[in-house]
Amino acid sequence: GRISTFNMSMGGALTRNDTNARLAGEHAVVRMNGLFLVAGGQHVDNHTAIDHAVPNCDSYEVYKGILEGRSRGVFNGKVFVHQDAQETDAKQLNKNLMLSSDAMIHTKPQLEIYADQVKCTHGATVGQLDEDQIFYLRTRGLSHDSACHLLTYGFAADLIRRLGIDAVRTSLDTLFETTIRDLSTARSRTER
């Protein structure tokens, strides 16, 4: 069987998401995606676990975070591959965009592998908006705020575009884009 999950967190003083999957039938596939946007003093925890219990299963996990203000975020993801789970293909990635030097992310992607014949990768990135990309967009006529908005939106929009239900995808895309625009506007006011 196949299952795809999408977890989107925007807002809330304190949010905790626990998402777990156990691949117990051969040729099972799980896609676990998440997107979180926190600002001000908000805090979000994302804890995931993918348990490969049998051979020939695949898992693909991507979580992206956007942090602004004094916000805090956590990504703690674990992929466990049992000894009998040969021919496992597991990919895990956490990418974070820091829009403030006061924001903080704790990221801990983990692999625990007891099988020999597997393809497993994991990684994490933490970065800021690229000043060269902002400059390039400004030379094309965009304001600084519009350039930052476009780059922030582009950082995470691919996850929303993967959603298979058109109405949900459109609704979440509009909500996310509006939230990013409001955040960019508020940030530019405080920087003036």
Q: Give per-residue pLDDT as tens, 140-156.
A: 999 999 999 999 999 99
Q: Which of 95, 103, 94 has the alpha carbon at shortest distance from 42?
A: 103
Return the domain boundaries, the chain. 1-128, 129-192
Contact 8, 17 (CB under 8 A): no
Q: Give the span between the Cα atoms of 129 and 76, in whole angstroms.
A: 24
Question: Token digits for 172?
Answer: 């979440």
Question: Token digits for 129?
Answer: 């908006």
Q: How far does the chain reach from its first CA to its final CA, in angstroms?
A: 53
Q: Which of 155, 164, 122 has the alpha carbon at shortest distance from 4?
A: 164
Q: Which of 126, 130, 177 has the alpha carbon at shortest distance from 153?
A: 177
Question: Token digits for 36?
Answer: 């979180």
- The tens-digit pLDDT sequence of the chain (192 residues) is 999 999 999 988 999 999 999 999 999 999 999 999 999 999 999 999 999 999 999 999 999 999 999 999 999 999 999 999 999 999 999 999 999 999 999 999 999 999 999 999 999 999 999 999 999 999 999 999 999 999 999 999 999 999 989 999 999 999 999 988 887 766 666 665
pTM: 0.93
